[in-house]
Chains A and B, each alone.
Chain A
Amino acid sequence: MAEHASPGVEIARADGRTLVSLRVVAAAAKAARERLGLSEPGRVGQSDPCSIWLGPGHWLLFGGGIGPEELIGRCVESLGGLVHLAVDESAAWAVWQVSGAGARDALARGTGLDLRPARFAAGASARTRLAGIAAVVAALGEDRFQVLIERSHAAYFGAWMADGMR
């Protein structure tokens, strides 16, 4: 795990959690959200399973200590006859924790997202372009962010973050 730190910013890879992407057809979106306790648009949820809203009828679920099959099974069980697709994406994402007083500035180098505390407080999430690549940014705490990028970009993104701290 590449780890970097500079005054005010700490960056760490946080892979290894079970990630399942869940998509449901538009007509089933509301029911799915209620049954599984999924997060609202633009939010990262705190319930179990923890989820990030990625788009209409589309969430990324975090398995709290359970594997992808079990999490997918839970979706199938809860969603019953609703048309949906839950797929294992545990290996599709590289997950980073960016924290510290300088975390916002470190991310603002590469994204036009409005990260001001009042606009992007804990619980907010967004898909954006970060350092020229697709990313999901979620605010977990006051100065704590989770950044997800496609795994194939991990080496590039790690080097880019490290370069910014030089």
Chain B
Amino acid sequence: MAGPSYRLPEGGWIDRSRPLAFTFNGRRLQGCAGDTLASALLAAGIAVVGRSFKLHRPRGVLAASAEEPNALVTVDRGDGPVPLARATLTPLSEGLRAESRRVFPALGFDLARIIDYTRALWPAGFYNKTFKWPSWHAYEWALRRMAGLGRLVPAPDPTRYRHVNVHCDVLVVGAGPAGLTAALAAARAGEDVLVAEQAAEPGGSLEYDPEPVEGQPPREWLAQALVELARHPNVRLVCGATVAGCYDHGVLTIHGTGDAGESWWKVRAGRVVLATGAIEQPLLFGNNDLPGIMLAGAVHRYAARYGVACGRRVIGVVNNDLGWRALLALSRAGVEVVAVIDPRPMPDRALSAAAAERGIALHVGATPLTAHGSRRVRSFDFITADGGRERVECDAIAMSGGFSPTLNLYAQAGGRLRHDPRLASFVPADCRRPVEVVGAAAGITGGAGPIAPAPVASTSQWVDYLYDVTVADVELAVREGFDSIEHLKRYTTVGMGPDQGKTSNRNALALVAALTGRDPGAVGTTTCRPPYQPVTLGAIAGDRRGDFYAPARRLPGHDWHARQGAEFEDFAGWKRPAWYGRDRDAGIAHEVGRVRQAAGLFDASPLGKIEVKGPAAAEFLDFIYLTAVSGLKPGRARYAVMLNENGVVIDDGVCARLTDDHFLVGTSAANAGRVAHWLEEWRQCEWSRRELIVAPVTEQWAVITVAGPRARAIVQALPGMIDLDAGGLAPMSQRAGRLDDGTRYRLQTISFSGEASFELSLPADRAPAVIERLAEIGAPAGLGPIGVEALLVLRLEKGHPIVGIDTDGTTNALDLGFGRIVAGRKTDFVGARSLARPADRSADRRQLVGIEFDPSAAVVAGAHFVTAGAGPRRSEGFVTSAGISPTLGKGIGLGLLEGGHRRRGELVSVFDQGRRATVRVVDRCFYDPGGARIRG
């Protein structure tokens, strides 16, 4: 496959003294420092770099930059394979390993090539047409295997991905002559400038275009520009950085690649300068996808920038003056150009004279027909101006079908495009955001020429190289009515590959315009969406993986719990002890027994705590809560429920009155943040004229609950503790004090477990020491830690629902059985109006009930209550919590059941994944319904 070197004896910006060894599909090759992978492959004479997506046709390098549709390879620099790398943008490095995609079994002999010979079976939309019998699924597995553009590696990705946030006054996209000029102007004006260049080095067309810039040779101008930019402290030039997207508010994203790993940048720019250049477009003729057929500008660039001849006998097939310029420059760079074929009868006189002078055969007014060859182009057929058919031998074709300004980011920014018939391309019209387009991206003159398919089989003329879309596919789609450019794209997949149609959209558009007799401007373009180029998903994730995937909150007593053997699990963003010890079930049962018989220590620090203060505080909380709290005396607390405007229960907790105008609102752990926002919203939006302050203090206070028959004695033994005598401190009391060591505390006698319970709030930094002391004091009395799982069992035994577990987004206060509270309210409260509507008061709604069942029955949370009787069954609700009570020795649970409140005593069928069971509907409280134990 690889012949002798195609490296030119001189020229190019490469360091010939520094050879770099690399492999391609296992084959050892050599390039030079300064090469891209593509230039090194071309220099080594590698014509076939991959197989096409659908038809497995051999494909070679087409382009020299981001638009490359064929040379997409998997690259491994020793830190793991990166699929879909564009060889044209991949700097060569020592030891680099590259693999072509989709080769079976080998690049030179691809069995799947048989698909190409059965091409008629695979028209546009083939999966809707060809593979209908007996079913698409019969073929899917094989087709899936043959498709695909790379292989995923199941091993963990060792690559380091970084996130970067940058602010600048100006973001310049592209470091070619136009971009650098804009950057210099902004830098001189003292602006903060960020220049992003997708290639590994700045320069753009300066790298190969011999045209002087500001009267200077291009390379000298470039060197000077870079020196000046480096002198400005406010300028940052980043290479290997592709601007992937442009969003609202001046936000742009950049995908960075480089030695330090990959990065994902969010740039907030005051204004944007797009110097993104223009992309040369292919011509339509037979077999225009053969290896060796390349864009003329790319052929020139490989010669001038990398000292590589893409062929030893090159012909040009061009339809515009810039194509001629590239061919002339190529010839001057020492590459043998034998002929130029141009469909235009009268190309630029100076250019044709110059070409003739260099001994290039001129065929103007000719009609390109078809290329021949198998793994490399061999010859080209065309019809001369006087009608004769001619063939020229060649080993490379430099083609130019005109230019398409790169305006993806402009369109993403909301910029509108306008078709300029003089330039035969879309150019920027106007943009409501501060986005300026400069250089070739604003429109490039001399690049216009006729665009038409050749008079040969349309199935052999490629529009989209990456997704194997031919002129025939476009014709078929238009015949079938898909003549809107957006429909055409989806039907034929033109432009839908990872290259996003950089070398196919223009030709597809021109074809549709011609086939439907419309002006290209009337056909329009497809919508440009981010990303401009494929982005590694890992780069977007950045460091948000592993331990940093979701920020975890830790309890103040985390280390103590760990020493007690806590098994930590995630509960609403907190790492909390789920149970202690190795055996889950035994641990939970043991902890439940501990609370019922002795005392358990539970870390309730995540409970939300919000202080509400001001002359309007009592009235405000009466409005916020279903349960009025204005009747509380200072030092007393009350269980209270919060509803939203629909009367749906959104949280519950304990509200304590500290002083006349100062309350402490307790929320569930999961809703601490949400309730704080909820109160703040009502305060700011509806109570803004009232004197009221809302202050969340959850983080300040650790909460340690000691519960059980021996809890009172244990807590009382803390030096400095107030008198906890049952006579003086009834359940639902609130006190504050100071321990002997000066630690301030707040104490509430509230119980979730059903036992006498003391909830001690301590400044978070003092909590670890107090936990140690409590554990020490309580150990002789059997005090030990309990986890969240045990508490869930304890509360279930008491029938306490958990909002969000035993309720959902439809469960209102009446469904939970708060009818008497609703009826007793004298003043307005959030949700009151909704609870007056018949539908919200219906007795047929799903209502919360208790259920009992045999411990052997398969009843789990999520199981459905189903209707009785023969015939089809219907769900009447579902079990929300279920478990075996170690205290009671029976199965207990809660559930939302249609008309549940009137069905007490009824036996109901429960269905879960094919298993059935029967449960009895009962009162919700299973344990100590009188509450005698709470009083201790």
Residues on A close to B: CB < 8 A?
15, 21, 23-27, 83-85, 87-93, 108-116, 119, 131-133, 150-157, 159-160, 163-164
A113 vs B266: C-alpha distance when bound (angstroms): 11
A88 vs B766: C-alpha distance when bound (angstroms): 13
Contact check, B555 vs A108: say whether CB atoms are below 8 A apart. Answer: no
B77-114 contact mask (Cβ, 8 Å, vs A): 1 or 0: 00000000000000000000000000000000000000
B920 at the interface (CB under 8 A from A): no
Report which of A25, A116, A119 forms a contact with B614, defined as CB distance below 8 A: A25
Contact check, A155 vs B554: say whether CB atoms are below 8 A apart. Answer: yes
State whether A156 and B551 are in contact (beta carbons under 8 Å apart), knowing that A112-B165, A132-B544 are contacts in the complex: yes
Interface of chain B residues 572 through 597 with chain A (CB within 8 A): 574
Contact check, B548 vs A160: say whether CB atoms are below 8 A apart. Answer: yes
State whether A83 and B763 are in contact (beta carbons under 8 Å apart), knowing that A108-B166, A116-B192, A152-B553 are contacts in the complex: no
B162 at the interface (CB under 8 A from A): yes
Report which of A24, A26, A88, A108 forms a contact with B763, defined as CB distance below 8 A: A88
Report which of A85, A93, A131 forms a contact with B695, defined as CB distance below 8 A: A85
Contact check, B688 vs A26: say whether CB atoms are below 8 A apart. Answer: yes
Cβ distance B350 to chain A, nearest Cβ, rounded Å: 51
A134 vs B694: C-alpha distance when bound (angstroms): 18
A152 vs B697: C-alpha distance when bound (angstroms): 12
Cβ distance A143 to chain B, nearest Cβ, rounded Å: 15
* Extra contacts besides A85-B693, A156-B551 (13): CB < 8 Å: A23-B695, A87-B695, A89-B697, A90-B700, A90-B765, A91-B766, A109-B543, A116-B192, A119-B167, A131-B548, A152-B554, A155-B554, A156-B548
B138 at the interface (CB under 8 A from A): no
Contact check, A87 vs B700: say whether CB atoms are below 8 A apart. Answer: yes
Contact check, A153 vs B697: say whether CB atoms are below 8 A apart. Answer: no
Closest to A83 in B: B691
Contact check, B699 vs A150: say whether CB atoms are below 8 A apart. Answer: yes
Contact check, A109 vs B693: say whether CB atoms are below 8 A apart. Answer: no
Contact check, A91 vs B695: say whether CB atoms are below 8 A apart. Answer: no
Report which of B164, B167, B574, B699 forms a contact with A93, defined as CB distance below 8 A: B699
Of residues A113, A115, A151, A163, which shows the largest number of chain B Cβ atoms within 10 Å of its Cβ?
Answer: A151
Closest to A15 in B: B765
Report which of B165, B543, B700 forms a contact with A88, defined as CB distance below 8 A: B700
Closest to B702 in A: A91
B864 at the interface (CB under 8 A from A): no
A23 vs B693: C-alpha distance when bound (angstroms): 7
A115 vs B662: C-alpha distance when bound (angstroms): 39
Interface size band for B = 35 or more
Contact check, B611 vs A87: say whether CB atoms are below 8 A apart. Answer: yes
Contact check, B697 vs A92: say whether CB atoms are below 8 A apart. Answer: yes
| Residues on the B chain within 8 Å of A87, using CB | 611, 695, 697, 700
Interface of chain B residues 164 through 194 with chain A (CB within 8 A): 164-167, 192
A60 vs B435: C-alpha distance when bound (angstroms): 41
A159 vs B554: C-alpha distance when bound (angstroms): 13
Cβ distance B658 to chain A, nearest Cβ, rounded Å: 11
Contact check, A131 vs B614: say whether CB atoms are below 8 A apart. Answer: no
| Residues on the B chain within 8 Å of A21, using CB | 695
| Residues on the A chain within 8 Å of B192, using CB | 116
B357 at the interface (CB under 8 A from A): no
Contact check, B700 vs A91: say whether CB atoms are below 8 A apart. Answer: yes
B223 at the interface (CB under 8 A from A): no
Cβ distance A112 to chain B, nearest Cβ, rounded Å: 5
Can you show 16 pairs from A to B with CB atoms below 8 A apart?
A24-B693, A87-B700, A90-B700, A90-B763, A91-B556, A92-B699, A109-B162, A112-B268, A115-B167, A132-B544, A151-B699, A153-B551, A155-B558, A156-B552, A156-B554, A164-B543
Contact check, B765 vs A152: say whether CB atoms are below 8 A apart. Answer: no
> Which 10 pairs of residues, A with B, have the shortest CB-CB distance?
A152-B553, A92-B699, A92-B700, A91-B764, A91-B763, A91-B765, A114-B167, A85-B693, A83-B691, A85-B613
A111 vs B164: C-alpha distance when bound (angstroms): 9
A114 vs B166: C-alpha distance when bound (angstroms): 8
Cβ distance B580 to chain A, nearest Cβ, rounded Å: 20
Contact check, A108 vs B164: say whether CB atoms are below 8 A apart. Answer: yes
Cβ distance A7 to chain B, nearest Cβ, rounded Å: 14
A25 vs B162: C-alpha distance when bound (angstroms): 43
Closest to B683 in A: A25
B547 at the interface (CB under 8 A from A): yes
Contact check, B551 vs A89: say whether CB atoms are below 8 A apart. Answer: no
Contact check, B167 vs A116: say whether CB atoms are below 8 A apart. Answer: yes
Contact check, A83 vs B614: say whether CB atoms are below 8 A apart. Answer: yes
B692 at the interface (CB under 8 A from A): yes
Closest to B700 in A: A92
Closest to A152 in B: B553
Contact check, A25 vs B691: say whether CB atoms are below 8 A apart. Answer: yes
A115 vs B694: C-alpha distance when bound (angstroms): 31
| Residues on the B chain within 8 Å of A26, using CB | 688
State whether A114 and B700 are in contact (beta carbons under 8 Å apart), knowing that A109-B165, A132-B551 are contacts in the complex: no
B163 at the interface (CB under 8 A from A): yes
Interface of chain B residues 536 through 557 with chain A (CB within 8 A): 543-544, 547-548, 550-556
Cβ distance B389 to chain A, nearest Cβ, rounded Å: 63
| Residues on the A chain within 8 Å of B574, using CB | 152
State whether A131 and B693 are in contact (beta carbons under 8 Å apart), knowing that A91-B700, A92-B700, A112-B266 are contacts in the complex: no
A88 vs B760: C-alpha distance when bound (angstroms): 17
| Residues on the B chain within 8 Å of A157, using CB | 551
Interface of chain B residues 604 through 647 with chain A (CB within 8 A): 605, 611, 613-615
B677-717 contact mask (Cβ, 8 Å, vs A): 1 or 0: 00000000000100111110101110000000000000000
State whether A114 and B611 are in contact (beta carbons under 8 Å apart), knowing that A21-B695, A85-B695, A133-B551 are contacts in the complex: no
Contact check, A111 vs B167: say whether CB atoms are below 8 A apart. Answer: no
| Residues on the B chain within 8 Å of A119, using CB | 167
Of residues B551, B554, B605, which shows the largest number of chain A Cβ atoms within 10 Å of its Cβ?
Answer: B551
A114 vs B574: C-alpha distance when bound (angstroms): 30
A62 vs B654: C-alpha distance when bound (angstroms): 31
Of residues B692, B699, B763, which shows the largest number of chain A Cβ atoms within 10 Å of its Cβ?
Answer: B699
| Residues on the A chain within 8 Å of B688, using CB | 26
| Residues on the B chain within 8 Å of A108, using CB | 164-166
Contact check, B693 vs A83: say whether CB atoms are below 8 A apart. Answer: yes
Contact check, A159 vs B547: say whether CB atoms are below 8 A apart. Answer: yes
| Residues on the B chain within 8 Å of A163, using CB | 543, 548
Contact check, A111 vs B551: say whether CB atoms are below 8 A apart. Answer: no
A110 vs B166: C-alpha distance when bound (angstroms): 11
A21 vs B692: C-alpha distance when bound (angstroms): 16
Closest to B160 in A: A166
Closest to B550 in A: A132
A98 vs B555: C-alpha distance when bound (angstroms): 24
A84 vs B617: C-alpha distance when bound (angstroms): 12
| Residues on the A chain within 8 Å of B764, using CB | 91-92, 151
Report which of A89, A112, A152, A160 forms a contact with B543, defined as CB distance below 8 A: A160
Closest to B691 in A: A83
Cβ distance B702 to chain A, nearest Cβ, rounded Å: 8
Cβ distance B566 to chain A, nearest Cβ, rounded Å: 15
A27 vs B766: C-alpha distance when bound (angstroms): 36
Contact check, B699 vs A111: say whether CB atoms are below 8 A apart. Answer: no
Report which of B163, B268, B548, B555 forms a contact with A152, defined as CB distance below 8 A: B555
State whether A25 and B548 are in contact (beta carbons under 8 Å apart), knowing that A91-B700, A116-B192 are contacts in the complex: no
| Residues on the B chain within 8 Å of A154, using CB | 554
A155 vs B553: C-alpha distance when bound (angstroms): 8
Closest to B614 in A: A83
A92 vs B138: C-alpha distance when bound (angstroms): 61
| Residues on the B chain within 8 Å of A116, using CB | 167, 192
A132 vs B544: C-alpha distance when bound (angstroms): 9
Closest to A120 in B: B167
A21 vs B695: C-alpha distance when bound (angstroms): 9
| Residues on the A chain within 8 Å of B605, using CB | 152
Cβ distance A23 to chain B, nearest Cβ, rounded Å: 5
| Residues on the B chain within 8 Å of A160, using CB | 543, 548
Closest to A154 in B: B554
Contact check, A83 vs B615: say whether CB atoms are below 8 A apart. Answer: yes
Of residues B163, B548, B693, B697, which shows the largest number of chain A Cβ atoms within 10 Å of its Cβ?
Answer: B693
Interface of chain B residues 862 through 913 with chain A (CB within 8 A): none
